[in-house]
Structure 1
């Protein structure tokens, strides 16, 4: 009975067989067979490469992060500005102001050839022109020379006298008559560094709101709700003016919980494909004018990369527009030593980074074709090519037989 059942199954065989006696082999059929094999192999290889290729899908969503802090990483070289003329200030629309940021910045003095001067790296609140040569007596109380006195009523350092002058609205243009400055050798240190450059590197924590970071000469103070810049002597020892030519080696944004791809095994090809390069990296601008302002307007966008191994790479990309202008008229005037001015009236020489945070979050997701799709496509290629080849062979064979009979 089992044999009879199996015998009945032959009726549903969709792949009918022919005996070797009725098979006809032709040279045309052999050629079509080889051609079909070549086409199947080529198409299958292309499908396999497509299966192995990684595609990136991009989506835009609203950035719902609140109260985050961003870190601005910078690495910039100024070949013709000494370190004492470089002060980093941060302002944003929330009203927060950071003046003379130094605790997270490292300044290294460079000689006239751009090489590092050994033992001159300064970090934190330390600065070569602000060190005191001799300790003051405990009861020492220095004069402020008519400037606005601090709460203690004493100006014991040259820096405190400078601050008092600025708060009063005066120009600190003659430090050689100030006792504190003479004792500290303030002018001698300025002359010593006059022909040097500076390499500044570090990171600044900023609020995730619109703001700006600027590297400008002198120190900034707040007086009567105004931002005042006191510009220190701006002339080189050889009589030439300093200028703010610079090279930006790195400028990037990252949040506190960003995935540190610098420590991950990310290849250069992957970094390029994900767009992890920043537009201002290795960017250089030059000028021969002392009274010159460089401005960079940055549009910062939070970006997430989701890799195939389920890792989320958090980053912040930005686009940038560069603008520069000569501020010779009214910026520094003809004052040989230094002036004070209200920020925003004429402008200040230096480098300014104005950043705006986008409310959009860009998500890039890596995807790859599934194995099932690859198998299905491969079967479709094999079946399709063989079917077309068989139809073509049948037409040729039938045509050839008809022509032979007619002949």
Structure 2
């Protein structure tokens, strides 16, 4: 009894006897309303507990030796595909010239229609003379021939490659037996009015570098990257590097719930009326991760995305005076090369977009208790006020 009496003194929930309780209509209404409010608020707390939000986090990028994926889709309405070359260079000294692997060039009808032509074949160097002697060995006209063919230039393209290897301008292959046999000049002239779409994917070292689309065959000469611009400037058609960038990204897209700037160069267009004109885009690439709920940075589950965001500034300039149009075969760094250049730099920071629950389970329970206790307390005060107000009104009427 002694122990029980001590516990009884600690009871914070004192009871009332049934006879002392008064039930009223207003109390029933307040009870129903309070239960509805509790239900609505508890449902809201549950939804908040189930809601997933994406929190960005900035860390130092510690990855090494990765490749940087590039996806592009660019249309040049005033230059045929045969005159365009895609090259990649970086500070490590690696160069990728005349890239074709993973890149698709589509010939387009003259602007403004710019629809794909019936054939997308670009092999204007194809040797159709199947009757050639098997022992045939074509001349390279003073240039070193390919080793795979024992120094023989079998096709017009072989001669063109041999010329590029020592920095000679090639032109339209006038006087070159292989080119005349393949009707290279005639087939090239047929494309003069066409445009070109370049689309595809390439992979580069994750270091400072650039990729560019410029006219003519590219090669290195005296530690400089140059292009054979003979065909570009000799053309009767005034080619220009007006272009539309339909898409340019450095990796897959992030989910729609991640609030980031989408590829800023998508659907952008630049126009020029000059043949000797240079467009430059300076891109800052930032590594970006998307980690679904329950994923750590050092573990991988389906749904995790590794990609890159980028910001960009642009510059354009005329190269008029940088070369003699009548005699130019190449333009080097002193005057500049007409074309579209994308210079990219890699940020040392990395953005991690991590999925987390908006509220923990403990927070959910705390919220439910607060909703129930707070609602019932307010309801009790309202019911007490209604009851006492009703009693006073009744006494006034009786008095």
Give the alignment's TM-score, normalised by structure 1: 0.79
After TM superposition, give the deviation of residue 50 of structure 1 in Å: 1.7
- Tell me the distance in 2 between the aligned counterparts of 1:173 and 1:331: 20
Match of 1:325 in 2: 316
Equivalent residue for 1:287, pick from 272, 296, 310 = 272
- Tell me the distance in 1 between the aligned counterparts of 2:26 and 2:234: 89
Does residue 253 in structure 1 map to residue 253 in structure 2? Answer: no
After TM superposition, give the deviation of residue 314 of structure 1 in Å: 2.9
Aligned residues of 1:194 and 1:235 also touching (Cα < 8 A)? no
Equivalent residue for 1:87, pick from 71, 85, 88 = 85
Deviation larger for 189-198 or 52-61: 52-61
Unaligned runs of 5+ in 2: 296-300
Match of 1:131 in 2: 126
Does residue 371 in structure 1 map to residue 368 in structure 2? Answer: no
The CA deviation string for residues 238-286 of structure 1, in whole angstroms up to 9 with x for no partner, is: x5412222233332224xxxxx78xxxxxx9x43536494333333333
After TM superposition, give the deviation of residue 339 of structure 1 in Å: 2.3
Deviation larger for 186-195 or 277-286: 277-286
After TM superposition, give the deviation of residue 317 of structure 1 in Å: 2.1
Does residue 301 in structure 1 map to residue 291 in structure 2? Answer: no
After TM superposition, give the deviation of residue 20 of structure 1 in Å: 4.6
Match of 1:385 in 2: 375
Partner secondary structure for residue 231 of structure 2: coil
Equivalent residue for 1:183, pick from 159, 181, 184 = 181
Equivalent residue for 1:315, pick from 300, 306, 320 = 306
Does residue 358 in structure 1 map to residue 359 in structure 2? Answer: no
- Tell me the distance in 2 between the aligned counterparts of 1:272 and 1:196: 41
After TM superposition, give the deviation of residue 367 of structure 1 in Å: 0.7
Give the alignment's TM-score, normalised by structure 2: 0.80
Mapping of residues 230-249 of structure 1, within 5 Å: 230-234=228-232, 239-249=236-246
Equivalent residue for 2:65, pick from 60, 67, 76 = 67
Name the count of aligned residue pairs: 383
The CA deviation string for residues 31-63 of structure 1, in whole angstroms up to 9 with x for no partner, is: 644554454344334323322221112222222
Partner secondary structure for residue 348 of structure 1: coil
After TM superposition, give the deviation of residue 162 of structure 1 in Å: 4.6
Match of 1:224 in 2: 222
Partner secondary structure for residue 51 of structure 1: helix
- Tell me the distance in 2 between the aligned counterparts of 1:281 and 1:241: 27
The CA deviation string for residues 361-395 of structure 1, in whole angstroms up to 9 with x for no partner, is: 22111011233422320121110121133235445
- Tell me the distance in 1 between the aligned counterparts of 2:12 and 2:4: 15
Partner secondary structure for residue 233 of structure 1: helix
Match of 1:346 in 2: 335
- Tell me the distance in 1 between the aligned counterparts of 2:140 and 2:98: 24
Alpha-carbon RMSD? 3.6
Unaligned runs of 5+ in 1: 122-126, 255-259, 262-267
Aligned residues of 1:142 and 1:157 also touching (Cα < 8 A)? no
